[in-house]
Chain A
Amino acid sequence: MRRMIIARLHNVTGILNRFTAVLNRRQVNIISISAGVTENQELTHTTFVVEVDSLGEIEQIIKQLNRLIDVIEVADITDLPHVAREVVLIKVSAPPERRAEIFTMIDPFRVNVVDVNRENVTIQLTGDSDKIEALIDLLIPYGIIRMARTGSAGFERG
Chain B
Amino acid sequence: MKKIKLKTAKSGSQLVLETLKDLGVDIIFGYPGGAMLPLYDAIHGFEGIQHILARHEQGAVHEAEGYAKSSGKVGVVVVTSGPGATNTVTGIADAYLDSVPLLVFTGQVGRASIGKDAFQEADTVGITAPITKYSYQIRDTADIPRIVTEAYYLAHTGRPGPVEIDLPKDVSTIEVTEINDPKINLPNYHATEHADKNQLSKLLTQLSVSKKPLVIAGGGINYAEATEELRAFIDKYHIPVVSTLLGLGTVPVENPLQLGMGGMHGSYASNMALVEADYIINFGSRFDDRLVSNPTRFAENAVVAHIDIDPAELGKIVKTQIPIVSDLKEALQILVSADRVTTDFDEWTAHVLENKHRAPFSYGKVNDFIRPQQAIEWIGQYTDGDAIIVTDVGQHQMWAAQYYPYKNPRQLITSGGMGTMGFGVPAAIGAKLAHPDKNVILFVGDGGFQMTNQELALLNGYHIPIKVVLVNNHSLGMVRQWQESFYDERRSQSVFDAEPNFQLLAEAYGIKHLKLEDPKTLSEELKILSEDVPMLIEINISQAEQVLPMVPAGAHNDEILGVYFTDGTDAITGASEEVNHA
If A17-B126, A21-B129, A21-B130 touch, does A56 touch B315 (CB 8 Å cutoff)? yes
Which residues does chain A contribute within 8 Å of B126, judged by CB atoms? 14, 17
Which residues does chain B contribute within 8 Å of A71, judged by CB atoms? 188
Q: How far is B189's CA from A66's CA once the two chains are assembled, in angstroms?
A: 10
Closest Cβ–Cβ distance, residue A147 to chain B (whole Å): 31
| Residue from B125, B133, B314 in contact with A14 in the complex, judged by beta carbons closer than 8 Å | B125
| Residue from A14, A21, A67, A69 in contact with B312 in the complex, judged by beta carbons closer than 8 Å | A67
- Considering the complex, give the chain A residue whose CB is closest to the CB of B188: A72
- Considering the complex, give the chain B residue whose CB is closest to the CB of A64: B312
Which residues does chain B contribute within 8 Å of A10, judged by CB atoms? 188
Which residues does chain A contribute within 8 Å of B314, judged by CB atoms? 63
Which residues does chain B contribute within 8 Å of A21, judged by CB atoms? 129-130
Please state if A69 and B310 are interface contacts (CB–CB under 8 Å). no
Number of interface residues of A (CB under 8 A): 18
Beta-carbon contacts under 8 Å, B77-107 to A: none
Is A133 interfacial (CB-CB < 8 Å)? no
For A52-78 the 0/1 string (1 means CB < 8 A from B) is: 000010011001101101111000000
Which residues does chain A contribute within 8 Å of B129, judged by CB atoms? 14, 17-18, 21
- Considering the complex, give the chain B residue whose CB is closest to the CB of A9: B188
Please state if A66 and B133 are interface contacts (CB–CB under 8 Å). no
Please state if B315 and A69 are interface contacts (CB–CB under 8 Å). no
- Considering the complex, give the chain B residue whose CB is closest to the CB of A65: B312
- Considering the complex, give the chain A residue whose CB is closest to the CB of B316: A60
Is B237 interfacial (CB-CB < 8 Å)? no
Which residues does chain B contribute within 8 Å of A14, judged by CB atoms? 125-126, 129
Is B364 interfacial (CB-CB < 8 Å)? no
For B265-281 the 0/1 string (1 means CB < 8 A from A) is: 00000000000000000
Please state if B312 and A66 are interface contacts (CB–CB under 8 Å). yes
Is B154 interfacial (CB-CB < 8 Å)? yes
If A69-B133, A69-B188, A72-B188 touch, does A60 touch B312 (CB 8 Å cutoff)? yes
Closest Cβ–Cβ distance, residue A106 to chain B (whole Å): 44
Please state if B154 and A69 are interface contacts (CB–CB under 8 Å). yes
Which residues does chain A contribute within 8 Å of B186, judged by CB atoms? 69
Beta-carbon contacts under 8 Å, B293-347 to A: 310-312, 314-316
Q: How far is B396's CA from A139's CA once the two chains are assembled, in angstroms?
A: 67
Is B134 interfacial (CB-CB < 8 Å)? yes
Tell which of A10, A59, A69 has the most Cβ of chain B within 10 Å. Answer: A69
Q: How far is B133's CA from A17's CA once the two chains are assembled, in angstroms?
A: 14
Which residues does chain B contribute within 8 Å of A69, judged by CB atoms? 133-134, 154, 186, 188-189
Q: How far is B190's CA from A66's CA once the two chains are assembled, in angstroms?
A: 11
- Considering the complex, give the chain B residue whose CB is closest to the CB of A18: B129
Which residues does chain A contribute within 8 Å of B315, judged by CB atoms? 56, 59-60
Q: How far is B190's CA from A69's CA once the two chains are assembled, in angstroms?
A: 9
| Residue from B125, B130, B134, B311 in contact with A25 in the complex, judged by beta carbons closer than 8 Å | B130
Closest Cβ–Cβ distance, residue B317 to chain A (whole Å): 10
| Residue from B130, B134, B189, B311 in contact with A63 in the complex, judged by beta carbons closer than 8 Å | B311
Beta-carbon contacts under 8 Å, A4-45 to B: 10, 13-14, 17-18, 21, 25
Q: How far is B186's CA from A69's CA once the two chains are assembled, in angstroms?
A: 8
- Considering the complex, give the chain A residue whose CB is closest to the CB of B189: A69
Please state if B130 and A66 are interface contacts (CB–CB under 8 Å). no
Which residues does chain B contribute within 8 Å of A63, judged by CB atoms? 311-312, 314, 316
Q: How far is B158's CA from A66's CA once the two chains are assembled, in angstroms?
A: 14
Tell which of A64, A71, A72 has the most Cβ of chain B within 10 Å. Answer: A64
- Considering the complex, give the chain B residue whose CB is closest to the CB of A59: B315
Closest Cβ–Cβ distance, residue A78 to chain B (whole Å): 19
Which residues does chain B contribute within 8 Å of A59, judged by CB atoms? 315
Q: How far is B130's CA from A56's CA once the two chains are assembled, in angstroms?
A: 22
- Considering the complex, give the chain A residue whose CB is closest to the CB of B154: A69
Which residues does chain B contribute within 8 Å of A66, judged by CB atoms? 311-312
Q: How far is B154's CA from A70's CA once the two chains are assembled, in angstroms?
A: 12
Which residues does chain A contribute within 8 Å of B137, judged by CB atoms? 13
Q: Which A residues contact B (CB, under 8 angstroms)?
A: 10, 13-14, 17-18, 21, 25, 56, 59-60, 63-64, 66-67, 69-72
Q: List 5 A-B contacts (CB under 8 A).
A: A13-B137, A14-B125, A64-B312, A69-B188, A72-B188
In the complex, the 4 A-B pairs of residues with the closest C-beta atoms, listed nearest first: A63-B312, A69-B134, A64-B312, A72-B188
